[in-house]
Amino acid sequence: MNPVGSSRVTEKSVDVTGAKLQTEAFGDPSGPPVLLIMGMMSSMLWWPDRFCEQLAARARYVIRYDQRDTGLSTHYPQGEPGYSFGDLADDAIAILDAYGLDSAHLAGMSMGGFVAQDAALRHPGRVRTLALISTSPFGAEGLPSPARAYQDHSAAADGLDWSDPGTIADFLRRDCAMLAGTRHPHDAEAASGLIARDMARSPSFASATNHFVLPGGAEPDKLRASDLRMPVLAIHGTADPLFPIGHGDAFTKIVRTAKLHRVEGGGHEIHDRDIDDMVRAIADHTAD
């Protein structure tokens, strides 16, 4: 993680039901709040510093956090998550409570986009807008499958020794390369550095694999993106190999309040060269 720039940054450990969550806030607390929710196995470090700083520079109060089993938040024994997917959504609302926020804009990346949708569907009064990056509409069916090459890569994970840090790091480096887009060159050195920092920061990185086996929660079958009523912005790379662009486009067909912001040649990532464009889109979307 690069050194934090001029944005005012504060850290806070938040108590939620059964866990502690590490959070970090950028900018002026009087600005419109934007809560960032990262994806599977990824701590808040995967929200680039520059992304957070630039959004804060646009007068937003930006909060990122480590979900359970990532970073400095509570970890559980590998293969035994003491929480459900629904708990992750409730965690987002608990963070708003801890910061004294009646409501906030939520931005979710990949699995974090599903968490954000879950939170918005079950706590609609707490969510002003949704910005959903590289994800898919909750409860949608018939959407495109991941690229075949990515499916083969993902299937290989089943045979890995997830207790070995070196094995995990090697797989994650390959994963970042597989998820890269086509417009910009993949920065393998930067990805490797981020993975190393993320693993070094976590007391039990292998526990992040609990995200693969989470139970759904209270009533997951009843939650549908079509029931979202707040403004929704889908930000999606046209070369995303995990959730092809059809997933981003589906939001505009399923959710009447949704708009699609296409990242031409973008993959399943927040590439440094796309940050300016993505921040501008989110700032416009969250203008109170």
Minimal CA–CA distance to 236: which of 224, 251, 225? Answer: 251
- As a three-state string, the secondary structure of 240-286 is CCCCCHHHHHHHHHHCCCEEEEEECCCCCCCCHHHHHHHHHHHHHHC
Q: Which of 107, 130, 90, 88 is nearest to 255 (CA)?
A: 130
CA 104 – CA 283 distance, rounded (Å): 13
Q: Which two tokens stand for residue 230?
A: 């707040």
CATH dotted code for 9-285:
3.40.50.1820
Per-residue pLDDT of the chain (288 residues; tens, 9 = 90+): 334 444 689 999 999 988 999 999 999 999 999 999 999 999 999 999 999 999 999 999 999 999 999 999 999 999 999 999 999 999 999 999 999 999 999 999 999 999 999 999 999 999 999 999 999 999 999 999 999 999 999 998 888 888 888 999 999 999 999 999 999 999 999 999 999 999 999 999 989 999 999 987 555 568 899 999 999 999 999 999 999 999 999 999 999 999 999 999 999 999 999 999 999 999 999 997
What is the model's pTM?
Answer: 0.95
Our CA angle for 92, 98, 102, nearest 5°, is: 75
Give the whole-angstrom CA distance, residue 56 versus residue 27. 5
Integer-rounded Cα radius of gyration of the chain: 17
Indicate the DSSP class of residue 86.
H
Domain boundaries of the chain, sorted by first residue: 9-285
